[in-house]
Amino acid sequence: MIEEVQNSDIVKERALLVGVYGPETIRVQAREYLDELELLTDTAGGITIDKVLQNRTNPDPNYYIGKGKLNEIKRMVGNKNIETIIFDDDLTPTQIRNVEQNTNAKVLDRSGLILDIFASRAKTAAAKTQVELAQLQYLLPRLTRFWTHLSRQKGGIGTKGPGETQIETDRRLIGKRISTLKDKLEKLDKQRVTQRKRRRKMTRISLVGYTNAGKSTLMNALTQTELLAENRLFATLDSTVRRHEINNKEVLLSDTVGFIRKLPHNLIESFKSTLDEVRESDILMHVIDASSFMINDYIDVVRNTLEELGIENKKTLMVFNKVDKVNTEDLRGLKADYPDAVFVSAFRGIGLSRLEEKLAELIEEDHVQKNMQIPLSKYKAVAYIHEVANIEEEKYVGNKVDLTFSIDQRDLITLNNLLEDIDSTSPVA
């Protein structure tokens, strides 16, 4: 039985969670998934009163669950004053409508719940725009259902964002708004590209991982800053960038939105511009909750999401966080399974020195030391070195500039193209 915790100041929406498992999912996994759904519900401002699981080979096309289980849920709704039923999978508009009509409770699917959380946590203009776009794309095929649902003027989970303020919206207006939001995101993305160009000469490291793995806590521990870090899913939506020094070299660390299984496709699409920070990074730090029972599943989710974003081949360092919560035997097994990984506790400051040493090694792998005397007439090449390289010494000798610098091998190819027509007798190394 789920115990209810009352707060005198906040009346939480009472929710029943429903999951279905079958040939590809065992019952233990399904329970873990519902535990995650409970965290999502809490993040959205609800309280889980009970959970229901059903074993089915295929979901019922009318109710997702079977008719018998639906009647059981109907009784629970009445007996336990359930206000909202939340399914751990996406439902069709027909399934949502049918369950609502039979139970007289509000029904949400997983994507609707996640979108609701994003709507409540979006703070910047970019995040708000991206969330609204994803919500409208989710709303469009469910328009009829939302009209009847929202006409009740109920608030609570699943009603934040454009739905509750645009009850009379039709498909034409939604389509027009989607087009407007896409244009706005394109402009915001151009601004981000300009900002990233200014930071091009520094190595960029992005923290990625399953939501609630402790990325923000790790970012705070490394950079001595105070980003929002709490034990809730999706504490971070916007990419946050901080300067940090590793082995006497300045780098940029970015904290990004956490990934989660069954992340709505529309949300991934709309957040691609935010995740460009990840796409253009030199190194990824894949942060993993070492204390989780679902480590392998969560690793797969992150890898699959990176693949969907087209950035699966980035140089990646696996960082197992929260090792202070893992017993010695399990930790020894993880180290044997992932010998190249780093094991830390961001909260307790364990293993951070080793993490920085490993990052320094990865940074140096792709950099070469160069000394060049370049004619001042080759101003484009000189400007490019200033843009992308770490300059250690610079002095002018006659009509040439003598530069000693460290440069990424990929950038060196571009530099050599800029210098290719220099006379072979020129002292360019």
Mean pLDDT value across residues 267-279 = 70
The three-class DSSP label of residue 163 is: helix
> Which pLDDT does position 396 carry in this prediction?
92
Is residue 306 within 8 Å of residue 297, measured between CB atoms? no
CB atoms within 10 A of CB 235: 20
Domain co-membership, 338 together with 231: yes
**Residue 194 has what pLDDT?**
63
Q: What is the pLDDT of residue 393?
A: 92
pLDDT recorded at residue 278: 82
Structural domain boundaries enclosing 130 = 122-150+157-189
Is 394 in the same domain as 275? Answer: no
Indicate if the pLDDT at residue 149 is higher than 60. no
Give the per-residue pLDDT at 41: 93
Percent of the chain with pLDDT over 70: 82
Residue 355: its pLDDT value, please?
Answer: 96
pLDDT, average across residues 378-404: 90
The model carries a pTM of 0.73
pLDDT-derived band of residue 153, with 50, 70 and 90 as boundaries? very low
Q: Which residue has the higher pLDDT, 196 or 382?
A: 382
- Could you tell me the pLDDT band of residue 228, with boundaries at 50, 70 and 90? low
Q: How far apart are CA 253 and CA 290, in angstroms?
A: 22
Does the residue 4 lie in any domain? no
269 and 355 in a common domain = yes
- Whether 428 maps to a domain, the answer reads no
What is the spatial distance between Cα 17 and Cα 30, in angstroms, rounded to a whole number? 12
In a shared domain, residues 357 and 346: yes
Regarding whether 350 and 207 lie in a shared domain, the answer is yes
The CATH number given to whatever domain includes residue 208 is: 3.40.50.300
Within 10 A of 359 (CB to CB), how many other CB atoms are there?
Answer: 23
More confident of the two residues 79 and 178: 79
Residues 132 and 260 in one domain: no
What distance in Å separates the CA atoms of residue 314 and residue 278, rounded to the nearest whole number?
A: 9
| Strands (E) located in 181-334 | 203-209, 240-246, 249-255, 283-289, 315-321
For residue 305, which amino acid is it? T
Is residue 115 in a domain?
A: no
Q: What is the pLDDT of residue 151?
A: 39
Q: Which residues contact 361 (CB under 8 A, 6 or more apart)?
A: none
Whether 163 has a pLDDT exceeding 70, the answer reads no
| Residue 225 shares a structural domain with residue 254 | yes
pLDDT at 277 over 80: no
- Decide which of 108, 134, 167 is a domain's last residue: 108
User: In this structure, is residue 274 part of a structural domain?
Assistant: yes
| Domain CATH number, residue 398 | 3.30.70
| Domain count along the chain | 4
**117 inside domain:** no
**Of 73, 26, 23, the residue nearest 49 (C-alpha):** 73
Residues 205 and 326 in one domain: yes
Give residue-wise pLDDT tens across range 301-332: 999 888 887 787 889 999 999 999 999 999 99
Q: Which residue has the higher pLDDT, 300 or 10?
A: 300
> pLDDT, tens digit, for every residue of 168-196?
556 778 888 888 888 888 887 777 666 65
Is 24 within the bounds of a domain? Answer: yes
The answer to whether residue 296 is domain-embedded is: yes
Give pLDDT, residue 28: 87
Q: What is the CATH number of the domain that holds 52?
A: 3.40.50.11060
Decide if pLDDT at 56 tops 90.
Answer: yes
Q: Are residues 372 and 360 in the same domain?
A: no
| Residues 183 and 206 both lie in one domain | no
In this structure, are 284 and 315 located in the same domain?
yes
Would 6 be classed as within a structural domain? no
Instruction: Note whether 208 and 182 are same-domain residues.
Output: no
108, 140, 173 - which closes a domain:
108
